[in-house]
Chains A and B, each alone.
Chain A
Amino acid sequence: MTHSQNAELERQAAESSVAGPDNRLRITLMVNGDRREVEIEPRVSLLDALRERLHLTGTKKGCDQGACGACTVLVNGERILSCLALAIQYTGQEITTVEGLALDGSLSPLQQAFITHDGFQCGYCTSGQLCSAVGMMREFDDGVPSAVTADVASGTIDFSDTEIKERMSGNLCRCGAYVGICDAIREAHSEVHSEVHHAGESR
């Protein structure tokens, strides 16, 4: 995003602070790198704005109460529950949904790994699982500890199943594809890492 775009979004965000109850507002959301204009009331959740106004129906509504994780999207790289977020709060922030995960039109290594390892059955939870796993791998690589990280001081965290399960515990799967989900995440993580390693070696 350019500076002036940022300034424009900031201005809009500031204006949004005067939205009245029946006042429909035109706001701009940055979704998967695109500027998307949408007219909403303050009570519209980010999830409803994505699905019903922008027709990005990849993100799913499970419980609409924060409990299942089906609606997980990334905001500035951090995973949040779009069902408990108001769209108006996210003017000007980088939102990534499952529609934004593919790289140049082909599946990302993580998406491919979900297919290889049967990381789903009905697929309803999958978009949330994928976004959550992307956020999780980033936290992991940034050295962010979790409740099950034993030795926080050492700074290195083992990419173990215990860590994966703890860090993915906000995403439920009613089909119980958890084993495949863990396998997929483990493989995608090690693939990305061996590529990084490779790039380092060839230099």
Chain B
Amino acid sequence: MISNAFSYHTPETLEEALAMLEDGGGKILAGGMSLIPLMKLRLASPESVVDLRRIPGLKAITEEGGAVRIGAMATHHEIEISPVIRGKCPLLGEAASAIGDIQVRNMGTIGGSVAHADPAADYPAALVALEARIRLRSANGERTVEASEFFVDAFTTAMEAGEIVVAIEVKEEEASEGFKYEKVAHPASGFPVVGVAVRVKKSGAGIAMARIGVTGMGPHAFRARNAEALLEGGAGAAAAAAVVGEGEETNSDLYASGEYRRHLARVHAGRAIAAALTRAL
């Protein structure tokens, strides 16, 4: 399997990269874990490939003023072992650890994963539960998009042509919060059939805050707001988990039907809520 021919570019600045993408014939190369397989199968045949790895600063993971900023070129492995992530947004680290295997995590990047928007990617569940913001850069400047509005459909995002993901911004999880990412891995591909990310904050015997993100069940990751509201309103975990995915579109394939995926989302939401509650202070 050999891809079509392309020209290869390694810009040293974002401005250079944006200029190289201007004519529309180019594709960004990050970790290559999704793009190179597509190019080998000739499902993608860009005229030029713009490799972001030489642009300084795009890998940095930093915290400032209660928010964590993760550079688009940070690899899954850098995220899973980052002390900043472990300390300030451990839910994201847990999702990163669940991706593929170490070889894939050494090469693949968070920017590539969100831009690719595989309906079964792990990060999106955590990102919508964390109310993350995707920071985009184009020739017209920068803008941010809420994660829950960013993932529009399978392999489709709110990005416009010529935009580059430069960073993901996440508000710190509070130390008293409990969190859990639960994944049902496909036995062959390792991708989630369904993945559920949960954050909860306790208040006395009740739950003051709940966030539930679901990936793999439908064409894009979503927040199970109905279940969140039930938890915050004092309903039990079982009652809340039972409404996850209600009214949402489902994906179906040879391995798992839409109904089965919805069922998995509910069972694993229940488990993730229970696990998150045991971690909450």
Q: Which partner residue on chain B sits nearest A45 by CB separation?
A: B36
Q: Which partner residue on chain B sits nearest A84 by CB separation?
A: B36
Neighbouring B residues of A64 by C-beta, 8 Å: 1, 40
Q: Are A78 and B106 in contact (CB under 8 A)?
A: yes
B97 at the binding interface (Cβ < 8 Å): yes
Q: Are A86 and B37 in contact (CB under 8 A)?
A: no
| Interface size range on A against B | 35 or more
Most A CB within 10 A of own CB, among B39, B97, B101: B101
Neighbouring A residues of B86 by C-beta, 8 Å: 152
Kindly provide the distance from the CB of B98 to the nearest chain A CB, expressed in whole angstroms.
Answer: 7
Asked whether A170 and B103 contact (CB < 8 A) given A16-B8, A21-B47, A152-B86, the answer is yes
Kindly provide the distance from the CB of B186 to the nearest chain A CB, expressed in whole angstroms.
Answer: 11
A86 CA to B39 CA, complexed, in Å: 12
Q: Which partner residue on chain A sits nearest B16 by CB separation?
A: A17
Q: Are A147 and B97 in contact (CB under 8 A)?
A: yes
Set A16, A41, A65, A139: member contacting B10, Cβ < 8 A: A16
Q: Which partner residue on chain B sits nearest A132 by CB separation?
A: B103
A81 CA to B104 CA, complexed, in Å: 8
Set A17, A136, A167: member contacting B9, Cβ < 8 A: A17
Q: Are A145 and B5 in contact (CB under 8 A)?
A: no
Set B29, B37, B103: member contacting A80, Cβ < 8 A: B103
Kindly provide the distance from the CB of A39 to the nearest chain B CB, expressed in whole angstroms.
Answer: 15
Neighbouring B residues of A69 by C-beta, 8 Å: 101, 103
Set A20, A48, A79: member contacting B106, Cβ < 8 A: A79
Set A13, A42, A139, A171: member contacting B49, Cβ < 8 A: A42
Which B residues from 42 to 60 make CB contacts under 8 A with A? 47, 49, 51, 53-54
Neighbouring B residues of A157 by C-beta, 8 Å: none
Q: Are A84 and B81 in contact (CB under 8 A)?
A: no
Neighbouring A residues of B37 by C-beta, 8 Å: 65-66, 84
Which A residues from 69 to 84 make CB contacts under 8 A with B? 69, 72, 78-81, 84
Query: Could you mark each residue 14-28 of chain A with 1 if its beta carbon is under 8 Å from any beta carbon of chain B, else 0?
Result: 101111111100000
B144 at the binding interface (Cβ < 8 Å): no
A17 CA to B49 CA, complexed, in Å: 10
Most B CB within 10 A of own CB, among A22, A41, A66, A136: A66
Set B8, B53, B100, B189: member contacting A19, Cβ < 8 A: B8
Q: Are A147 and B98 in contact (CB under 8 A)?
A: yes
A121 at the binding interface (Cβ < 8 Å): no
Kindly provide the distance from the CB of B18 to the nearest chain A CB, expressed in whole angstroms.
Answer: 16
Asked whether A79 and B5 contact (CB < 8 A) given A84-B36, A86-B32, the answer is no
A residues adjacent to B (C-beta < 8 A): 13-14, 16-23, 41-45, 48, 64-67, 69, 72, 78-81, 84-86, 88-89, 132, 135-136, 139, 144-147, 152, 167, 169-171
Nearest 5 interchain pairs by C-beta = A170-B101, A42-B8, A147-B97, A17-B10, A21-B5
Sample (7) of A-B pairs whose CB atoms are under 8 Å apart: A16-B10, A17-B10, A17-B54, A132-B102, A136-B102, A145-B81, A171-B101
Q: Give 17 new A-B contacts, CB below 8 A, not counting A17-B10, A42-B8, A66-B33.
A: A13-B10, A17-B9, A21-B7, A42-B5, A42-B7, A42-B49, A43-B39, A67-B189, A69-B101, A79-B106, A81-B104, A84-B36, A89-B51, A132-B102, A136-B102, A147-B80, A170-B103
B residues adjacent to A (C-beta < 8 A): 1-11, 29, 32-33, 36-37, 39-40, 47, 49, 51, 53-54, 80-81, 86, 97-98, 100-104, 106-107, 189
